[in-house]
Amino acid sequence: MNEVLSYEALRSIVDAMPGSVAVHAPVFDEHDHIVDARLRWWNSSYGALHTKKSIVDQSMRAVYFEPDNALDYVRQAWESGSAHQYFSIEGDVLARYEMFDEPITLSVDWIRLGSHVIEIGENLTLLTDIQRQLASSDLELLEAWRIQQITETKQRVARDMHDSVMQRLLAVGMGVRQSINTLDLSPKNRRYAESLQRNLEEAIAELRLMVDALASNPEPVRSTDFEIGLNQVVTSSEPLLGFRADFSLSLTCDVSSQVRDDIHAVVRESLANVAKHASATRTYIRVECNLGYLTVNVLDDGVGISPSPKPGHGLANLRHRAEAHGGTMTIRARSSHPGTRLAWRIPCSEASGEE
């Protein structure tokens, strides 16, 4: 059986609403023009809104900030049934309101109900915060999906390289070895075949490293915590190096998301080069801010760098990343120890995204 909602129950529901609700009775002059409005009823949110205590028959002109503006909305609601207002509370106006410590924006609906006008206010600042949180969650989901797509694509490429390209190279290598062992080659042709075999073995070894890197490392690392992200890059390089690289951080400047990704790329490419070329037993990474510059140093104890190294795409990309921030990238032999030092340096102002 349907039950009629009592006045007391309705009043308790309205009183518990988070928005402010007030009932106003318009005041007319001799020409039937609305010149004021008297407060007839209000809920607890409205009562807590103003520093001045709300009382029955309170004049809107005496209490409201910019009362003429509020009365215009009362007139619009009286004539057309409803009106909508956006109202910002900021600056010196905040002192007139009890419950707000920071600037806010209110959405106010003015609705005519019989011989009264109802004022219903909602704090849009709370809604904006919720929308911002939802947008942030959506971005995180999109980013997670993007990283998953990148990972799956790289793993698929790794499988294709392993199952197709590497197997073909292995077959060619076996053919070359069989030719060296069974054919009566001239000394010149034998030297050529042995050189071809060595080049194939080096290509296969490098291809294995590439396949391992593609299969195990979901580039790019997108951690909001810089140290956690760097640790992930170092960990993913362990299978290639055969050991764990040491690293330390000493940052006194903020690191923008773009620079964070660039530093991850620098460390990742540097460790891949150490694994492929250095025959190192130890690698050390140092990221620090000093004298107005953010610097990434990657040192190893390997065989060192050739006096005239062949420029590769990986190192060229790292140099371009540095130059995009007004910085530099150098790679050279270590002065007092065996091995190589790569130094990637940009101004600290670029690291924080300042102009």
Q: Once rounded to an integer, what is the mean pLDDT over residues 265-285? A: 88
Query: pLDDT tens, 114-143?
Result: 889 999 887 766 555 555 555 555 555 665
Quick one: what percent of the chain has pLDDT higher than 90? 18
CB atoms within 10 A of CB 132: 10
Question: Which of the residue ranges 128-132, 245-249, 277-281, 295-299 has the most confident prediction, judged by mean pLDDT?
Answer: 295-299
333: helix, coil or strand? strand
Per-residue pLDDT, 28: 94
DSSP letters, 292-322, are TEEEEEEEE-SS---SSPPP-HHHHHHHHHH
Query: pLDDT tens, 238-264?
Result: 877 888 999 888 887 778 878 888 898
Does 269 or 169 have the greater pLDDT score? 269
Which stretch of 28-32, 90-94, 226-230, 253-257 has the lowest confidence by average pLDDT?
90-94
d(C-alpha 321, C-alpha 256), whole Å: 14
Which stretch of 203-212, 270-279, 283-292 has the lowest confidence by average pLDDT?
203-212
Does 351 or 272 have the greater pLDDT score? 272
CATH 3.30.450.20 applies to domain 9-128: yes
Reported as a pLDDT band with limits 50, 70 and 90, residue 190 is confident
Q: Once rounded to an integer, what is the mean pLDDT over residues 155-170? A: 72
Per-residue pLDDT, 157: 73
CATH topology of domain 223-355: Heat Shock Protein 90 (3.30.565)
Quick one: what percent of the chain has pLDDT higher than 70? 71
Per-residue pLDDT, 72: 93
Q: Once rounded to an integer, what is the mean pLDDT over residues 159-176? A: 74
φ, ψ for residue 37 (rounded to 5)? -145, 140
For the chain, the first-to-last Cα distance in angstroms comes to: 70
Query: pLDDT tens, 33-85?
Result: 999 999 998 888 788 776 678 899 999 998 887 889 899 999 999 999 899 88
Does 22 or 103 have the greater pLDDT score? 22
Reported as a pLDDT band with limits 50, 70 and 90, residue 218 is very low
Secondary structure element (H or E) that encloses residue 261, with its range: helix 257-273
Using an 8 Å Cβ cutoff, are 338 and 303 in contact? yes
Peptide bond into 311 cis (omega under 30): no
Tell me the β-bridge partners of 44.
Answer: none
The pair of structure tokens assigned to 15 is 């009183």
Per-residue pLDDT, 165: 73
Domain boundaries, the chain: 9-128, 223-355
Does 8 or 261 have the greater pLDDT score? 261
Reported as a pLDDT band with limits 50, 70 and 90, residue 27 is very high
Query: pLDDT tens, 307-346?
Result: 665 655 678 888 888 998 999 999 988 877 788 999 999 9
Per-residue pLDDT, 334: 82
Per-residue pLDDT, 222: 43
Q: How many helices (H) and strands (E) does the chain have?
A: 11, 10
Indicate if the pLDDT at residue 220 is higher than 80: no
Question: Which of the residue ranges 99-103, 146-150, 207-211, 274-278 has the most confident prediction, judged by mean pLDDT?
Answer: 274-278
Indicate if the pLDDT at residue 32 is higher than 60: yes
Per-residue pLDDT, 39: 92
